C-alpha cells in the first residue's frame, strides 16, 4: 500500500503505512523521540485513524479507507519561531494547489488551515512544532483530506469525489503522490525566501476575505470583515472601522 515514487527531493521518500492507528501525529512524535534519526519528509499514513485531532482539540473523523489521513515530518530549522505561521501558509497552499488541479472554483482556505469548497469542509491541517531555542526544530504536519467518502451524516463536509462527481473512486496512492509533490514545492518556496508571494496567494484565496459575516467571541456574536492575517498568524477582523487581531482560539466563524 502506498508504494509510490513522488517526484520530490525528500518528501515521501520514506512512507510508514499503518492499517489502523490512534493518531498519525502521535506516531510521528513517538518516532522522533525513540529513533536516533528520522528523515525529513517521512510520511506516516493510515486507512483508519481512531483518535485524529483537529484545531481547537476537535476530533477528525473519516471513513476508513476512503480518504487521506497522514502526517508529514519536516525540519524547518531555517524558520524562526516567530515566523512559524509561514509554514502554515506553505502547507495550506500546497493542499490548495493540489486540489486546484481538480476543482475550478469555490475552493478556499479557511483561517487558519482548513480547506473548504463553498461552505463545506474538505480537509484540515494540524501543525505541531517543536522549538529549539529561537528556531523550529521539527514540525509534524497532520493532514486529513476527504477524497472518496460520499456520506457525512449531516456534517458540513464534502469530498473531492462529491465535488467532481467522479463515478469511480480516486486512486489514493496517486492522489498522495501528487499531493506530496505540491507540498514540497510550496515548502521549498519559504525555504528559498519566497514567502511574500505565497502569502499574497493565501490571502487571495482566504475564506470570506473582505466580506462581512458573523463571528463569535466569548459567546457573543458580532459582524465583521476579514482584512488579513498578521505575521504571527492572527486574523484581522474589522468592526465599526477598527481592526482587531484574534488568535486561533479567540474567535469562531458562524455559518
Whether 64 shows a pLDDT value over 90: the answer reads no
Closest C-alpha to 248, from 68, 124, 96: 124
Name the fold adopted by 212-253: SH3 type barrels. (2.30.30)
CA distance linking residue 248 with residue 255, whole number of Å: 17
- pTM (two decimals): 0.94
- For the segment 123-173, what is each residue's pLDDT rounded down to a tens digit? 999 999 999 999 999 999 999 999 999 999 878 999 999 999 999 999 999
> End-to-end CA distance of the chain, in Å?
38
Q: Is the pLDDT of residue 196 over 60?
A: yes
> Is residue 63 pLDDT above 80, yes or no?
no
pLDDT digits (tens, 9 = 90+) for 221-240: 999 999 999 999 999 999 99
Residue 56 has pLDDT above 80, yes or no: no
Average pLDDT over residues 67-77: 97
| Model pLDDT for residues 105-132, shown as the tens digit of each residue | 999 999 989 999 999 999 999 999 999 9
Here the cell at position 191 is 525555504
Give the start-to-end residue ranges of the domains of the chain. Answer: 15-204, 212-253
* CATH match of 15-204 with 3.20.20.390: no
pLDDT at 52 over 90: no
Amino acid at each position: 500500500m502506498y508504494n509510490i515514487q513522488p517526484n520530490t527531493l525528500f518528501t515521501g521518500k520514506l512512507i510508514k503505512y499503518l492499517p489502523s492507528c490512534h493518531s498519525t501525529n502521535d506516531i510521528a512524535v513517538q518516532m522522533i523521540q525513540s529513533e536516533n534519526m528520522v528523515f525529513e519528509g517521512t510520511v506516516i499514513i493510515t486507512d483508519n485513524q481512531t483518535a485524529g485531532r483537529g484545531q481547537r482539540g476537535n476530533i477528525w473523523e473519516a471513513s476508513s479507507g476512503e480518504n487521506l489521513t497522514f502526517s508529514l515530518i519536516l525540519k524547518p530549522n531555517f524558520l524562526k519561531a516567530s515566523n512559524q505561521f509561514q509554514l502554515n501558509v506553505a502547507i495550506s497552499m500546497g493542499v490548495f494547489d493540489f486540489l486546484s488541479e481538480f476543482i475550478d472554483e469555490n475552493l478556499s482556505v479557511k483561517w487558519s488551515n482548513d480547506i473548504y469548497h463553498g461552505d463545506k469542509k474538505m480537509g484540515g491541517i494540524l501543525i505541531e512544532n517543536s522549538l529549539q531555542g529561537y528556531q523550529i526544530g521539527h514540525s509534524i504536519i497532520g493532514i486529513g483530506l476527504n477524497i472518496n467518502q460520499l456520506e457525512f451524516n449531516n456534517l458540513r463536509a464534502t469530498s473531492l469525489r462529491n465535488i467532481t462527481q467522479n463515478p469511480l473512486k480516486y486512486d489514493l496512492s496517486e492522489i498522495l503522490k501528487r499531493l506530496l509533490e505540491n507540498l514540497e514545492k510550496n515548502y521549498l518556496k519559504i525555504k528559498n525566501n519566497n514567502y511574500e508571494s505565497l502569502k499574497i496567494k493565501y490571502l487571495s484565496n482566504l475564506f470570506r476575505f473582505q466580506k462581512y459575516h458573523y463571528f463569535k467571541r466569548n459567546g457573543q456574536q458580532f459582524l465583521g470583515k476579514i482584512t488579513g492575517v498578521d505575521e504571527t498568524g492572527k486574523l484581522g477582523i474589522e468592526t465599526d472601522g477598527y481592526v482587531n487581531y484574534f488568535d486561533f482560539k479567540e474567535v469562531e466563524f458562524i455559518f
